[in-house]
Amino acid sequence: MDVADPGAPAATVNMGLKKRSRFTNGSKEVELIGRLHSDIFCQEKYFLSGVDLRLKLTPSNDSFVLMSSWQDPEYRVMLQQVSFFVRKVKTTLSVLIAHAKALDKYTAKYTVRQVQTKILSMPAGNFSLNEDNVFLGQLPKRQRM
């Protein structure tokens, strides 16, 4: 495994870690933006207006988030400002009326597809990997490598 020290010799250093360490040297602030990777946000329909959605985001502990070659590092992650961006869609009056009529007869249904992450390790220098029983049950819609 790579060494968790960006100052290690070039043969053993994790080059991605070395590059990222330049952004945070000296306790510099870093601005990050990304999507929430949760099953409810991977569905194809928009939420109807008036749907109450409550989110509780809890950060992972610092020892999980930060890599260090020290035994007991005193690093901490401090969230200075957190923003939540929501995309709103403006619908026409006829669509709102159609939704209201449909909701009189039926309930709103949101098909939630479960996101599963599987990690397969391939030794350095190998160009192929054979793994049995990678997909059990429903076949995936997307794969990322």
Alpha helices in the chain (DSSP H): 15-24, 62-65, 93-105
Q: Quote the pLDDT of residue 106.
A: 94
Q: Is the pLDDT of residue 2 over 60?
A: no
Q: Quote the pLDDT of residue 104.
A: 95
Average confidence (pLDDT) over 128-142: 74
Which candidate, 93, 142, 84, places its Cα nearest to that of 117?
142
Least confident of 5-9, 23-27, 83-87, 91-95: 5-9
Q: Which has the higher per-residue pLDDT, 87 or 139?
A: 87
Please state, in angstroms and rounded to a whole number, the distance separating the CA atoms of residues 115 and 39: 6
